[in-house]
Structure 1
Amino acid sequence: MEILAPAGNFEAFFAAIEKGADAVYVGIKGFSARAYARNFSLKELNFLVAFAHQKGRKVFVALNSLIKENEWPEIIKIALALNQIKPDALIIQDLGIFWLFKNKFPHLPLHASTLMNCHNLTGVKKLAEMGFRRVVLARELTLDEITTIKKNTSVELEIFVHGALCFSYSGLCLASSYIGGQSGLRGRCRQPCRFLYQWGKEKGYFLSCGDLSALELIPQLQKLDITSVKIEGRMKSAEYVASVVEAYRLVRDASGDEKKSALEYAKSLILQAGGRKLTKGFFLGINPKDVINPKQPGAFGLYVGRVIRKEKGEIFLLPETEIQIGDRLRAQNESVGKGVSWKVKKLEKAGNLLKINAPEEIELGYLLFKTITPEIKIAKSDKKLKSKLKQLVAPIKFKPSSSKEKHLSQWIYTQGLKKSQKVSKKIIWWIRHEEIDYFLQHPLPSNSIPILSLNFQIYPKLVSNFRKLLNKFPNIVLSLPPIILPQQLNFFKRAIVHLSNLGFQHWHLANIGHFLLLDGIKDLILSSDYTLNIANHLALRSLKSLGIRNLTLSLELDRETIRKIINYWSPQNLIIMVYTRPPLWTSRFSLKPFWQNAPLVSPLGESFYPIIRDEITYILPETPISLGPYLKELQSLGISQFGIDLRYILRNKINKIVTKKGIFLPREYSFNYKRKWA
């Protein structure tokens, strides 16, 4: 079983190798799902790969950001360089990146990032069928669910065993983007799940999860023959990486009679590394009780106190745990979760207080956490390590080639779909709801396509009313939810076959695993939901090759990105969501222990509303997204298909928006459309 370690800088890379990691995953500058990590240039990566291979280790490159249309020139350079450097695999989420490497660099192994939201067996099988060598499973799976998947597939499986847990399924979180345009899918998450929220009369960190630790479960994972166990932390220090890698390697390598003592020592290493309160997450069951503690600040580290006085370059606190020279501390604004880290170089008593050096930006009242102790000894200085690396290895010489860049660029743009010369002036409205009675009782504009959400509650009524629905709307579309839990798969398989036999031909897919649920059913017409996160024309090409006729672009896109996509793809079969109240967090975590009949209110005053559907928690914003004022602008680009999602909109508001005479969209929040999507 491979131990896969993170490295956000040279120190962490060397620490991982020295402590026994079998493989290290690193990011490329600008195109990593940890954009705030240091990450590596291509020249630096060249040395890392050469050094790792010299030591018999592997390097995986996380090229797992969503790609904008204007980023292809840089991606072309990266792709050609990677073809020469030959890392052991690429970790990706963008279907455009998948299409590029599958077709032009098929010898480079591809790993499906957890951001592809693979959370059940159909997802794993479909990704394997597409050509992925390895699938990184969602963190929300139990050991029993992982066991079932392992027994039914031969593709390599990788699971997260240690590090930060997100409240939302990876790939489905829009919270950071909605609040401030910083997309988690592009590695720029501002961690709104770590905020201090007001919920009814209570204040708490209701969405802030503890840190995952499966150290004690490593023997079980070995018996399962899991390919790789992954440690999260490209933003973490080298000391942290060293300590955690050593801990997991000790437990993995210990023989039967050594397991107990190895585990005890490994636990001490984990505690020494620092972090949030540890939890086994979903590994032992679907209702973990220890993941969220609203009273525990969402910061990383051991709580040491609060800043009660400040002078130039120094802060004062009443320490609640020991601090020493060399400790690494983190100071955090209690409400918003933003923090700053530094090393203790100066420390002295001032009465009953402790005075230490600190960055100027730290304010009174900030919470202080110890994130690492100085006991873990590793090499220091990124600059020195970089120089050392150049002396130790002679990597391959890769040279940029303008002719190859030109040929690859030409190929990429030939993958587009040519525009029709005719621009349709007739708008087609894709109108979504989750209540059958709405479609049976309310008139829609003549140019409408109704979308009805399929779930457990709707299925019996759908079967009993199928003739009425198909007679009134022969073009009605049934949509599948983005999360189908493993125990729900059989229901959806049976329901899809039954409903297809009754005459429902149009299906709206929200996850890559949905393709396999529909496999073998003839004469279907497929469309895709925005949760497939499409942001460029190669991703559109990839989905079209899978049989999608009408393609919904990512909800996060700004006007510039949409315009650039349309330069290379016919707008006729694109759907733009122009009105929706989307889930910002989609989670398997239940908030029932803390449930209050009130909105979650952020430190910035925004209100968010939790609801539950089929065992999944969705947290909705108060204000819907509306691109109503920009319809004419979008039409001028040739787009004629627009999506309206009414599922979470109040009825009196719906009746004003959708009428027999037409659609009347109110002015609401325009999301990223006007501002730059980052």
Structure 2
Amino acid sequence: MPHTSKYPELLAPAGSLEAFFAAMESGADAVYCGLKEFSARAKARNISMTDLEGMLAYAHKLDRRIYVTLNTLIREEELPRLTEILAGLEALGVDAIILQDLSVWKMIRDHFPGLPLHASTQMTVHNAAGIRTLERMGFKRAVLARELTLEEITAIRRETTLELEHFIHGALCFSYSGQCLFSSWLGGKSGNRGRCAQPCRRRYSYRQKYGYYFSPNDLSVIDLLPELQQAGVGSLKIEGRMKSAEYVANVVAAYRRALDAAPGQRKQALKQAKECLKQSFGRLPTKGFLPGPKPTDIAIPSLKGATGRFLGEISALRGGDLSFKSRDRLHLGDRIRIQPKSDQAGTAFTIKELRLGRRNVKAAPAGSLVTVPSTFRDTFRIGDAVFKVSSEQAFTMSEAACRRKLQQAGKIPDHIDLHIELQDETLTLAGRSGAVVLEQSYDVPVFPASDSPLSSDTLRSVFERSGKHELVLGNLSTGPLPPVVIPPSRLKEVRRLFYQAVCDQLGTADRQNRQQHLANAKHALLPHRSSPVSPQKRLITVAMDRMRDSHLLNDPLVDRIMLPLTVSNVQQLGQRLSGREDRVIWDIPFVLLGSDWQECRRAVRILVERGFRTFRLNNLGHFPLFDGLPQLTLLSGWRLFTLNSQAALAWNELGISEATLYLEDDRTNLAALLQRDTGIETNLTVYASVPLITSRIPIRGVRSDSPILSDRNDAYRVTQRGGQTVVSSTTDFSLLGHLPELEHMGCHRFIIDLSHVGPFSAQGKQVLEAVRRGGNISGTSDFNFESGME
């Protein structure tokens, strides 16, 4: 596998072949790309396996790397296909897999050990404890959450030797990555399945004031590269698998210039790099959370979250011709987007004709009143905004040209070490390439040497040329060589015969290895249950926010309660719950930053000493909280994704005895998952206020007493507490009317989350009564249960 001494690594997106070559030619040390399946950017063009093989050959010959993103959640029915893709990627020798779903982790660890593991930012790893968990699981690298400050990254670096990767440029999510359900809630298009419809970019109103409350600006931290290196970030990642090759070329070139500048030339290089970045046509730049935990420029509601450089507004229309005063230079070949004042999607087209007054021109300077003909009629309105989204200087390479370049790269060569012996007229070659070992003997004519007898240098000059065979000679050793010569034509023939035999055996070994790994992986997939699940008692857990409501345990309907593990709740515990410790689940806060983790650790110790044994974990950083504490019952929350049986098995291996199934899931996948015998109990949330967005970004001036409204009049509640912003629909999620069906599927443990209303409020009582009598609550949503999750 190739290795580079460059530090830090500049990592670029490659959503297409054109973008791949743009990254390579502009100086990227590595690229990350997605396949047609299981990519968190499903809308990107993405890469085929055939293309990937050529890309790897091209990149490895340049000592560059390629990481493949399999960073989506996997449905049960997709597991067989996942095994085939992993087998193919291992055979190709990709440099790493970036993953989110633990089914991918388990399959790679158990069956495809040739694939290094990178933890996606979708796993929301945000503290040193999360990194320790990844180390134990065998990961090589963690892509850190984008919400961390330089100080917090530095603290993580001190605790680990794991490779750390962080985003440096491109679009930001308002939510912690992997924790946004907004798109899925609106129409089943799950961001965790690569199908985000970006509702965060739309316009909303709060108390009749319109704004883009959930639309962050774009990350751009070219000024902070030395600080990131000092903090210990080894891979600097550019976002943009949905972006054009031009974007990739401009951004990579800018950061390459800044990274390579000598100390005395850094100021000038940085100035030039920033000029280059202006051609990337992004949103307004922000340094995000890196300078500190309370950025003021990361999300500005008054700014529309549209990409491109704002040129002006349409001042006149005539047929398809539109006129506007352009703030920037325009040229034939530029691409512009017309953005309506409403919240509808814009319309983009390439300028093929440009007029100043009545005169056709090739270019128009900034400040000109220009007219641009288009083929669109009755589409635009006076006042619509005009954005430039691509320039005439775009990096262009046709798909055919890209494929020609891949073909010229050939295949990925194998390395071979040789030992050569000559006895009498028999030349014996022993070669080793990977796990393949081959020894062959050949008859050769030998003649006494008058000068230049056979030597190791002579043999190396012959055998380092592999001809049509994709082999690279490594070490070459020989036994004692007599003072003879062998005709060069015979040596070349021996080389051809031996290398052909090696390649044939390598091909056979690779196929056998791949087939065996694939067969083992498929065999490990769990079959359908052979018999129906035997009836079990329904077990009801009610989640609440306040300790004072814990006497709900007196209700015969309620088997367990779930309380948030907060310092306040632990301090208020007193003699409450004495004798009922086994009926309480302590729910650990999803995000633990700074000293919060240590405070939580102390609280766990206090609770264990008081006799409590059951805790729910919601992040990988929660596992080390329980180091050295035996005989505990650990549950996984829905934020620790369980969408398939292999993920359930993975959680069980990590110490989880009850897995909470994923909140976004639908009827079809739940049934398929529950038909597998995973050996782990399953919980399902059947009533809750769904946190559509969980964020570290504050929304100034917005309070929970008045909802934010969409253009469709959907209402959302914004709660800001403890440094976290949570956006939830005012419509609650409920599967209460489906409990008998879910029990028939094989799930008998249900969570009723009333933490937002309290169990003794009118609404809380109504929900509990619905559980008693059977039936649903009007005015609720079943989320994706019936309509399906894409």
| TM-score bracket for the superposition, by shorter chain length | over 0.9
Shift, 1:617, TM fit = 0.8
Confirm whether residue 476 of structure 1 aligns to residue 584 of structure 2.
Answer: yes
Distance 1:368 1:571, change over 3 A: farther
Residue number in structure 1 paired with 2:730: 622
Aligned to 1:562: 670
- Choose which of 407, 428, 438 in structure 2 pairs with 1:390: 407
The TM-score normalised by the length of structure 1 is: 0.94
The aligned counterpart of 2:639 is: 531
User: Which residues of structure 1 form unaligned runs of 5+?
Assistant: none
Query: 1:139 maps to what in 2?
Result: 146
1:610 aligned onto 2:718: yes
What residue number does 1:657 align with?
767
Deviation at 1:357, TM superposition (A): 2.8
Report the residue type matching 1:369 in the other structure.
F
The letter for the 2-side match of 1:545 is: E
Contact 1:110 1:132 in 2 (8 A): yes
Which residue identity lines up with residue 371 of structure 1 in the other structure? V
Contact 2:581 2:611 in 1 (8 A): no
Contact 2:582 2:613 in 1 (8 A): no
Match of 1:72 in 2: 79
Q: Which amino acid counterpart does residue 30 of structure 1 have in structure 2?
A: E
* RMSD of equivalent CA atoms: 2.5
- Bigger mean CA deviation after superposition, 13-22 or 623-632: 623-632
Residue in structure 2 matched with residue 372 of structure 1 by the alignment = 390
Match of 1:327 in 2: 334
Greater displacement, 293-302 / 232-241: 293-302
Whether the 8 Å contact between 1:571 and 1:637 is mirrored in structure 2 is no
Query: Residue 577 of structure 2 aligns to a residue in which SS?
Result: helix
In structure 2, distance between residues paired with 1:331 and 1:596: 35
Larger radius of gyration: 2
Deviation sequence 1:26-74 (CA, Å, 0-9, x none): 0010210011100011111111111100111000001111111111232
Residues in 2 aligned to 1:653 and 1:140: alpha-carbon distance in whole angstroms: 35
Describe how 1:172-571 pairs up with structure 2 within 5 A: 172-306=179-313, 315-336=322-343, 338-349=345-356, 354-357=371-374, 363-364=380-381, 366-376=384-394, 378-395=395-412, 404=516, 407-408=519-520, 410-414=522-526, 422-440=533-551, 443-446=554-557, 448-462=559-573, 464=574, 467-472=575-580, 474-569=582-677
* 1:144 Cα deviation after fit: 0.4
1:521-543 C-alpha deviation (Å, 9 max, x unpaired): 11110111111121111000100
- Normalising by the residue count of structure 2, what TM-score does the alignment of the two structures yield? 0.81
Q: Check the 8 A contact 2:320/2:378 in 1, yes or no.
A: no
SS in 2 for 1:70: helix
Farther-moved stretch of structure 1 (628-637 vs 53-62)? 628-637
User: What amino acid is the match of 2:519?
Assistant: H
Q: Judge conservation of contact 1:330–1:370 (CA < 8 Å) in 2.
A: yes
> SS in structure 1 opposite 2:525?
helix
Residue 340 of structure 1: how far off its partner (Å): 4.6
Q: Distance in 2 between matches of 1:27 and 1:37?
A: 8
* Matched letter for residue 102 of structure 1: R
TM-aligned CA deviation for residue 244 of structure 1: 0.7
SS in 1 for 2:44: coil
CA distance in 1, matches of 2:67, 2:569: 44
Deviates more, 1:615-624 or 1:363-372: 363-372
The 1:412/1:266 distance shift into structure 2, 3 A limit, reads same
The SS at the match of 1:330 is strand
> Per-residue CA shift, 1:574-599, capped at 9, x if unaligned?
11111111111000011135558421
For 1:9-28, what aligned pairs fall within 5 Å after superposition?
A: 9-28=16-35
The aligned length equals 673
The answer for unaligned runs of 5 or more in structure 2 is 1-7, 359-368, 414-506
Answer yes or no: is the 8 Å Cα contact 1:192–1:337 preserved in 2: no
Pair 1:676 & 2:770 matched: no
Q: Judging changes above 3 Å, is the alpha-carbon distance between structure 1 residues 399 and 312 closer, same or farther for their aligned structure 2 residues?
A: farther
> How many Å separate the matches in 2 of 1:24 and 1:361?
42
SS of residue in 1 equivalent to 2:772: coil
Aligned AA (1:431): V
Structure with larger RCO (C-alpha < 8 A, sep 6+): 1
The whole-number CA distance in structure 2 between the counterparts of 1:433 and 1:361 is: 54
Indicate if the aligned counterparts of 2:314 and 2:385 stay in contact, CA closer than 8 A. Answer: yes
CA change 1:323–1:46 in 2 (3 A) is same
**Alpha-carbon displacement from aligned partner over 1:102-144 (angstroms, at most 9, x marks no partner):** 1111221110000000011111111111111000000000000
Q: Secondary structure at the match of 2:555?
A: coil
Cα distance in 2 between the residues matched to 1:406 and 1:203: 54
Shift of residue 551 of structure 1? 0.7
- Aligned-pair distance for 1:323? 2.7
Contact 2:168–2:222 (8 Å) recurs in 1: yes
* 1:8 counterpart = 2:15: yes
**Could you tell me which residue of structure 2 aligns to residue 636 of structure 1?**
744
Other-structure match for 2:119:
112
Give the conservation status (yes or no) of the 8 Å contact 2:66–2:96: yes
The superposition leaves residues 160-191 of structure 1 with CA deviations (integer Å, 9 ceiling, x where unpaired) of 01111111000110000001110000111111
